[in-house]
């Protein structure tokens, strides 16, 4: 559960990035399009961070249970 907030924030950033990219594409605004792509990458990275935190928690719990 430690990574839940990172995963949620990352998903939101990714979705916002998709909207920006699409809007930039439809309005021929390359800066907005690039900003959207950047937000998507940041969002995916933040989600991966959350997944990693959850995995670390799982490993710590497994270790505690084993000892």
Q: Which residues contact 14 (CB under 8 A, 6 or more apart)?
A: 39, 40, 43, 44, 47
Per-residue pLDDT of the chain (67 residues; tens, 9 = 90+): 789 999 999 999 999 999 999 999 999 999 999 999 999 999 999 999 999 999 999 999 888 888 7
Name the residue among 57, 54, 25 with its Cα closest to residue 40.
25
pTM of the full structure = 0.85
Q: Residue 66 region, left (φ>0) first, then alpha (ψ -120 to 50), else beta?
A: alpha
Alpha carbon distance 18, 31 (integer Å): 14
């Amino acid at each position: 559960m430690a990574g839940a907030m990172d995963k949620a924030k990352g998903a939101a950033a990714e979705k916002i990035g998709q909207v920006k990219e699409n809007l930039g594409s439809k309005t021929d605004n390359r800066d907005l399009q690039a900003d959207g792509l950047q937000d998507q990458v940041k969002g995916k990275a933040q989600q991966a961070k959350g997944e990693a935190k959850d995995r670390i928690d799982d490993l710590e719990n497994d270790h505690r249970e084993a000892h």
